[in-house]
Structure 1
């Protein structure tokens, strides 16, 4: 399981499409719309041992724990990708989205306020820091 962590418009979905589209299913509340659908999709991936990415903001340790616990119980490796916040760049990327995908600034900055940097003691096997740069990503493994 790959768990993405970061504010809206930080590049998570683009990173998924560039790096994991061909190898991992994508679980996203933006796509699935309800927690019920998300849970069903998550359960299907876990029970079939299908590799997957959780492409949500996952800002707090508590929000991440539900995925980490479930993945651990299903004997998945858990790898986290923390998207370093750059509020100004996220605001610019958000402004370029179509109206249906636009996140109100209060939502973007509200998530930023709740964002907690992940740590290995949450149950990650590996943890990476991701920086969105113009058209590409810099990825660094965290200790």
Structure 2
């Protein structure tokens, strides 16, 4: 089974990408929807226990934050794929302003996430990694990860 972990600052298209590519095949685990870490953890455990494919649709900016999903998934025999959403803060701020007001992230929060952002690495437990670049108009380019040297 497969766990997919999204990584990237807010307003880079992660949820839209999920809808376009994984809506019909993977359970979406999102702190924005579930509201508490307890609920998120319980849903992840259920997916792992029942061998359901799932996507972690959060910012996941640091290795430590990604480990809370990757390590249990590996123990459950899941393959782990990462998608890093690559975008400049200025672009994300523009997209953020285009969201409905109730879904906008304060600019300071977006910048704080950017300051914490660590590129994912295979050594974290990923089987596959990809760069995703939002192009606008809800389209994306996906390219293979450049292996670490």
Q: When the two structures are superposed, what TM-score results if normalisation uses the length of structure 1?
A: 0.98
Q: Distance in 2 between matches of 1:79 and 1:141?
A: 12
Structure 2 counterpart of 1:51: 53
Q: Give the distance between the partners of 2:134 and 2:128, measured in 1 at CA.
A: 19
Q: 2:69 aligns to what?
A: 67
Q: CA RMSD in A?
A: 0.7
In the TM superposition, residue 85 of structure 1 has moved relative to its aligned partner by 2.6
Aligned to 2:128: 126
Matches within 5 A, 1:105-124: 105-124=107-126
C-alpha distance in 2 between matches for 1:72 and 1:20: 20
Matched residue pairs, number? 143
- The reply on whether 1:39 has 2:41 as its aligned counterpart is yes
More moved, 92-101 vs 102-111 = 92-101
What does the per-residue CA deviation read over 1:38-80, in whole Å, with 9 as the maximum and x for residues that have no partner?
0111111000000000000000011011111010011000000
75, 78, 83: which is aligned to 1:76? 78
- Unaligned stretches of 5+ in structure 2? none
1:134 Cα offset (Å): 2.0
Moved over 3 A (4+): none
- In the alignment, structure 1 segments of 5+ residues that lack a partner are none
Task: Write the deviation string for residues 67-101 of structure 1: whole angstroms up to 9, x where unpaired.
Answer: 11010011000000001132111101111111221
Alignment partner of 1:6 is 2:8: yes
1:141 corresponding residue in structure 2: 144
**TM-score when normalising by structure 2:** 0.94
1:34 Cα deviation after fit: 0.4
